[in-house]
Amino acid sequence: MLNNLNIRGSHVSHRLVLVALFGFSLLIYVSTMSRGITWLNTGADGGDFITAARVFGVPHPTGYPTYTLLLRAFGDVVAFGEHAFRANLLSAVLGALTVPFVYVAAARLLHMLPSIEVGGSGSVRASAMLAALSFASSRLFWTQSTVTEVYTLNALFGAVLLVLTLGVVEELRSGSSGIKNRTLMTVLFGLGLGNHVTLVLAGIPFGLWILWLVWRRERWRGVFDWRPIAGLVLGLSVYVYVPVAASANPLVSWGAPNTFEGFRWMASASIYQPYAFGLSSELLPGRISKTAELLFTQFTFVGTVIGIAGLTSIWTYCRGFVLASVAAVLSIAVYAVAYNSLDSFIYLISGFMLFSLWIAVGVAVLGQGIKRYAAREKRIARYTRQIYVGLFVVVAMAIPAWSVLAGWDDVDVSGNREPADFARSTISVAAGGIVLAEEPQLFALTYQAQVEDADLDVMVIGPNLLQFDWYWDQLVEYYGDRMPEERGGYYLERIESIVAMNIGVVPLYSTHNDRKYHELFKLVPEGDLFRMEY
């Protein structure tokens, strides 16, 4: 991929930049990542992912087979530290791998513009490096590189697909069909959808751009070429893992997806569909304002202005990229804004990646403008190079530098042991018993009970999940001695029957005391938990 960069300058120097970007990113991510299980930095789902990976199970919808398999493999290969540490380290590595691909994508985009606008190889390299560093230090992406989540792998797929897209565009413009890279793109796109389906929000606009160029060259014969279609099917085949894994009745198997209905429920994320575009209209203005604020937080006001200016510069020479990238950013933003959850802003990461490419162009064009201005002024003409480099460093590099300095304390969870300590102490106290756990503690306790302290035989229950028959059946499969023979109808009945069977027999605790089902019992504070009594 590097050999086809088609940008002026030494391949060796570009490789050094790639290594430096990876090393810098990995350093800040590892330095700030959580050392154990956590629900900070929106990492509350981590326990579910790790537990599913360790038992070859299926985590919450949409099942995330690509990520689950990778998490399992990485945890086996990196055989040191707790599994939560290894999973967090995987996010750091994936995040660091993404950054060099952002650099390559930015360099390819800059190469598509005339050198009179963006400068020579030095300017291209510096501007692309700035784009990569700006994205690497952007607050949202950085947070996801410190916890167990799917979004760094989603970003890596996005960055690689951007590189391939720009390469295919160049191939099509030069008269080649680009069929090998187009097929590789669809394979990776399918695998990416096996990690997170929001990849489609950015993928469709760029896919349509490529199909338009293919149609202009080969008409419908090229559009319906069987090889990219077969590649997509091959990539999506990763979902075969889901029913195969579920058929073994693992401890974590959301929706029992070894049946058709269970697979449909899981893969379509039926449980979460009401959240999509479910935000009430009165909350929309505040959410839109928050999204704009997040843009400034990621890149500063200066970086935002430079990025918008860069987009206008691209329009003259590559309108296809502008249309595709703007459509992708808008679709991502609309989905994130209208999604009715507190952490939906995480979906904006892909949009911020595209914005960082706009920044690359804006910086390159700005740099050339400064250079031309300095050359025209006779008094300072002989200092043109020094002025150009100095202003570039001060203005441009201030973006990632400010992001690192200003964001470090907010992102850093390396020293926060509270979630891990809570999980360990809770499972220890409840040995041989039951814990009713609500978010964000639920998955952390599930991980601790099933992965790290499985010998303590603690049954962790998510009360709201008892509304699903498949969840009840899983508990019966693994904790039959603590489960009633009759499961009842409404989930409150099911909770009451479990408690009635076990109260006074095994330790019985709840992480909260303010849910509707708590009205059925007496709760006695005991440390960080509440002991349940009649």
Please give the full DSSP string across 423-457, using - where no structure is assigned. Answer: HHHHHHHTTTSEEE--TTHHHHHHHIIIIISGGG-
430 shares a domain with 397:
no
232 shares a domain with 107:
yes
Q: Give the C-alpha separation, 237 to 519, whole Å.
A: 47
DSSP string, 453-489: SGGG--EEE-GGGGGSHHHHHHHHHH-GGGS-S---S
Q: Give the C-alpha separation, 497 to 425, whole Å.
A: 27
**Bond from prior residue into 62 cis (ω within 30 degrees of 0):** yes
Last residue of a domain, one of 368, 383, 411: 411
160 shares a domain with 51:
yes
Average pLDDT of 492-520? 91
Average pLDDT of 257-279? 92
30's CB contacts (< 8 A; 6+ apart) are: 89, 92
Angle, in degrees to the nearest 10, between helices 349-376 and 83-111: 40
* Residue 217 clears pLDDT 50, i.e. is over it: yes
Average pLDDT of 184-188? 97
Q: What does the pLDDT look like over 72-115, one tens digit per residue? A: 999 999 989 999 999 999 999 999 999 999 999 999 999 999 99
Average pLDDT of 507-514? 93
228 shares a domain with 85:
yes
Average pLDDT of 258-270? 94
* Residue 311 clears pLDDT 60, i.e. is over it: yes
159 shares a domain with 117:
yes
Q: Give the C-alpha separation, 163 to 156, whole Å.
A: 11
pLDDT value, residue 444:
97
240's CB contacts (< 8 A; 6+ apart) are: none
526 shares a domain with 499:
yes
Confidence at 279, pLDDT banded by 50, 70, 90: confident
* Residue 8 clears pLDDT 50, i.e. is over it: no
Residue showing tokens 């001060």? 394
pLDDT value, residue 373:
67
Diameter over CA atoms, the chain: 92
* Residue 202 clears pLDDT 80, i.e. is over it: yes
320 shares a domain with 342:
yes
100 shares a domain with 57:
yes
109-118, 271-280, 384-393, 493-502: least confidently modelled range: 384-393
213-222, 422-431, 472-481: least confidently modelled range: 213-222
pLDDT value, residue 6:
46
pLDDT value, residue 375:
67
Q: Are 364 and 119 in contact (CB under 8 A)?
A: yes
471 shares a domain with 322:
no
156-160, 231-235, 272-276, 330-334: least confidently modelled range: 272-276
pLDDT value, residue 140:
96
Percent of the chain with pLDDT over 90: 75
First to last CA, the chain: 66
- Tell me how many degrees the CA angle 352-353-354 measures, rounded to the nearest 5: 90
Domain of residue 500: give its range. 418-533
What is the separation of C-alpha 48 from the centre of its chain, rounded to a whole number of angstroms? 16
129 shares a domain with 224:
yes
418's CB contacts (< 8 A; 6+ apart) are: none
- Helix count and strand count (H, E) for the chain: 22, 5
Residue showing tokens 């390159």? 364
* Residue 29 clears pLDDT 90, i.e. is over it: yes
Find, among 159, 107, 92, 90, the residue nearest to 352 by Cα: 159
Last residue of a domain, one of 357, 377, 411: 411
* Residue 51 clears pLDDT 90, i.e. is over it: yes
Question: Domain total for the chain?
Answer: 2
**Of residues 154 and 488, more confidently modeled:** 154
273-282, 329-338, 434-443, 467-476: least confidently modelled range: 273-282
Average pLDDT of 378-382? 57
484 shares a domain with 354:
no
What's the mean per-residue pLDDT of the chain? 91
Percent of the chain with pLDDT over 70: 94
pLDDT value, residue 385:
59
Average pLDDT of 46-69? 97
Last residue of a domain, one of 381, 411, 441: 411
pLDDT value, residue 3:
45
Find, among 160, 125, 105, 132, the residue nearest to 356 by Cα: 132
pLDDT value, residue 300:
87
| Total-model pTM | 0.93
212 shares a domain with 78:
yes
